[in-house]
Structure 1
Amino acid sequence: MTALEPFGARLRRAMDERGPLCVGIDPHASLLAEWGLNDDVAGLERFSRTVVEAVAGRVAVLKPQIAFFERFGSRGLAVLEAAVAEARAAGALVVMDAKRGDIGSTMAAYAESFLHKDAPLFSDALTVSPYLGYGSLAPAVELARENGTGLFVLALTSNPEGAEVQHALRPDGRSVGATVLARLAAENAGQAPLGSFGAVVGATLGDLSPYDLEIGGPLLAPGIGAQGATPADLPRVFGAAVRNVVPNVSRGVLRHGPDVVALRDAAERFAEEIRAAVTSG
C-alpha cells in the first residue's frame, strides 16, 4: 500500500461532499441496554455493525472510542478491527479516539498501532494528548506525514477539569491550550486545502475569541447533542474557523438505534443542520 493522499485533503473533500459531521461509535453498557443488547462481545458486534451499516456510506467521519472495545479484551479489539475496515471500505474516514500520549519509542509504538499502513487497526487519524510536552508527539507526526494520515491533538477540551491544565499560563504569558494551537498551525503551514493536524476543541466552551483557531487544519468539536451544544452554536463558538470544524455527535445519533433507517435519518438531520449553520456563519 502506497501513502494515501494527505488526510487533510481527504477530509476536506469528505466534508464538502457528505457534510461536516463525525458520528461517534461509543458502545457503552447503558447504550447497549437501550438497544436491547447484552453487555457482551455479541452485543458489541451487533451494535458496531449496525452503526457502520447505517451511516458509514453517508457521513464524513466515524470515530470509535477504543475504551469501549478494549474492555472486552482481544475479542473486543477484533470487533473494532472489523468495524474500522468496514467503515473505511464504505467511504467514511475513521478517527480512532484513543487519546494516546507518551514519549520516545512508546509514542512511536502507539502511532504504529493506528497510523502505520500495515496495522490491523489502521485508521485515517488518531486522537493524541500533548501533555507530556508537544514535542513528545513527534513520532506520531512523522508517521502521519509518511502515511497520509492525521492527528487530532487535545487543545481545548469540553470537560471542565481540562481548564486547570489547558488554561494555565506559560512564562511567556500564553496559555498551554493556545500554545498547542500555535504548534498545530506550524505543522499545517503551506498545506492546502486543509492541513492534516487538527485540534480537539469543545463545542460547549462558549466564546473562544481569545484563541486563534485558524490553525490551517480541522477542529474536532465534541459536545453537540447530549452535552448541550447545538449546530446553531458553531458560528458563535468557532468564528472564522467554523468551515474547518468537524462536529462530533454520539448519543444524539446512537439513541435512535438499533433501527438502521432511524440511525441514518438522525445522522442526515444533524449533517444538514450543521451544514446550514456553517454556511450561514
Structure 2
Amino acid sequence: MNSSSWSDLVQNNVEHFGDLVAGIDPALADIPKVFGAAESWISDFVDFTLDAVEGQVGFVKFQSAYFEASGLAGLTALSAGMKRAREAGIAVILDAKRGDIGATAAAYARAYLTPVSEGGSGDFEADCLTINPLMGPDTLEPFVDCATRFGKGLFVLCRTSNPGASWLQDRMAGNRLISDRLADLIGGYGKGDPSSSALGVVGAVIGATVPQEGRRLRQLLPRTVILAPGLGAQGGDPAAIHSLRGNTPGDLLVPVSRGLSRVEDRSISLADYRDLVLARIEGFKTAIAYDYSGARLKQA
C-alpha cells in the first residue's frame, strides 16, 4: 500500500514512468466481447488492465461513474482495483468529482482520502481525488484539510475539456474569467512557503482540448500539478499539450482512457488486445514525452 505523500508519488513515478495516466473506464460496448461472457466482467477487465499497465505507467485514474453504474459488482471491482494498484506502487487518482458543503464534504473526504489508521474504511482510499468547486471555496476546505493531513492530492475542476465548458467557465465574473478566478483559488493553496519549489497538493483539471486557455491558466498556476484530459477520444492534440507545462517535472499529468482501451473490432482476442493497449501506451508516452532540462520534446 502506498505510504508516500502525493507530491512524492508524483515526483517518483513521473521520473520512472513519465506523465501518462492510464484511465480505467469499464464500458462493455467499448471493449472486447470476451469480457461480456462472464458475470465478473468488470473485475476481469480491471485485472486485465492492471496486468497490462503495471511497469508501464506510474498512474491510473479510475472513473467512479462506470463502476457505480454496475452496482455492487462494480463497487467491489473498484475497491479491489484501487487496492491492487496502490499495493503495486501505482498512484491512484479517483475521478469522482465530489463537491458539497460542510459535513457532507467531510464525509466524502473521509471516504476517499482518509487511511484506515485514521478512521477511514479503506475500501475506496485513493492517492488523489477530483473535486468540483461549483458551490464555492468553503466546499473545498474539508478536502484540502484532509489531503494536507494525510499526504493526499486533489484535482479541482478549473477549465474542463468538454465542449460545453465555455458556457460557464469562459464567462466573466466581475472583471475576471471564471476559470481565472478558479485558478487563483487553486493556486492560493500552494503559497504557504514561497521559498519552496515543491508542487502543491491541490492541482487543477485543465483540458488538453483548450491549449490557449491552458497556456494562460498555467501562468496563474506555476507550482500546480495540472491534470489534462482530452487526448484520444476527445481529440486533443498531443503536440499542444506542452502549453500546459510549467518548469517542474510532474507538473503535468495526462490521462488517456478510451484512447487506450476502446476497440472497433470487439472480436479481438485478449492476446491481441493486450498488444494493442501496450502499443497505444507506448505511442502516447512518446507523443507527450518532454525534456524539462532542455525545454524541448525528447526525440524518439
- TM-score past 0.5 threshold: yes
Residue 214 of structure 1 aligns with an amino acid whose one-letter code is: L
Shift of 1:260: 2.8
How far apart in 2 are the matches of 1:39 and 1:138? 45
1:247 aligns with 2:254: yes
- Residue 23 to residue 133, structure 1, CA distance change in 2 (3 Å): same
- Mapping 1:62-81, distance limit 5 Å: 62-81=60-79
1:13 aligns with 2:12: yes
Residue 170 of structure 2 aligns with an amino acid whose one-letter code is: H
Q: Deviations over 1:59-91 (max 9, x none)?
A: 121001011111121221111111001111222
Cα contact 1:157–1:201 (8 A) shared by 2: yes
How far apart in 1 are the matches of 2:28 and 2:281? 22
- Mapping 1:31-110, distance limit 5 Å: 31-32=30-31, 34-38=32-36, 41-110=39-108
How far apart in 1 are the matches of 2:222 and 2:33? 39
1:149 aligns with 2:152: yes
- Residue 101 to residue 41, structure 1, CA distance change in 2 (3 Å): farther
Alignment counterpart, residue 158 of structure 1, candidates 153, 158, 161? 161
In the other structure, the counterpart of 1:238 is 244
Q: Secondary structure at the match of 2:172?
A: coil
What are structure 1's unaligned runs of at least 5 residues? none
| TM, length-normalised to structure 1 | 0.90
What are structure 2's unaligned runs of at least 5 residues? 117-121
Shift of 1:272: 2.5
- Mapping 1:71-220, distance limit 5 Å: 71-118=69-116, 119-171=122-174, 173-189=175-191, 190=193, 192-208=197-213, 209-211=215-217, 212-220=219-227
- Residue 185 to residue 162, structure 1, CA distance change in 2 (3 Å): same
Shift of 1:192: 4.0
Task: Give percent identity, aligned residues only.
Answer: 32
In the other structure, the counterpart of 1:280 is 296
Cα contact 1:23–1:63 (8 A) shared by 2: yes
Shift of 1:105: 0.5
Q: Deviations over 1:205-256 (max 9, x none)?
A: 1312433353412100111112112321212x32546852111111221136
In the other structure, the counterpart of 1:222 is 229
How far apart in 2 are the matches of 1:102 and 1:163? 23
- Residue 239 to residue 193, structure 1, CA distance change in 2 (3 Å): closer
| TM, length-normalised to structure 2 | 0.85
Over the residues paired in the alignment, what is the CA RMSD in angstroms?
2.3
Q: Deviations over 1:244-279 (max 9, x none)?
A: 211111122113684334323321331122114875
Q: Deviations over 1:73-119 (max 9, x none)?
A: 12211111110011112221000000001100001111111101122
Cα contact 2:28–2:35 (8 A) shared by 1: no
Residue 210 of structure 1 aligns with an amino acid whose one-letter code is: R
Q: Secondary structure at the match of 1:280?
A: coil
Cα contact 1:41–1:72 (8 A) shared by 2: no
- Residue 239 to residue 22, structure 1, CA distance change in 2 (3 Å): closer
- Residue 59 to residue 213, structure 1, CA distance change in 2 (3 Å): farther
- Residue 263 to residue 108, structure 1, CA distance change in 2 (3 Å): same
Residue 102 of structure 1 aligns with an amino acid whose one-letter code is: D
How far apart in 2 are the matches of 1:152 and 1:71? 23
Shift of 1:13: 1.9
Q: Secondary structure at the match of 2:189?
A: helix
How far apart in 2 are the matches of 1:251 and 1:184? 28
Moved more, 95-104 or 190-199: 190-199
Moved more, 179-188 or 78-87: 179-188
Shift of 1:186: 1.5
Structure with higher Rg: it is 2
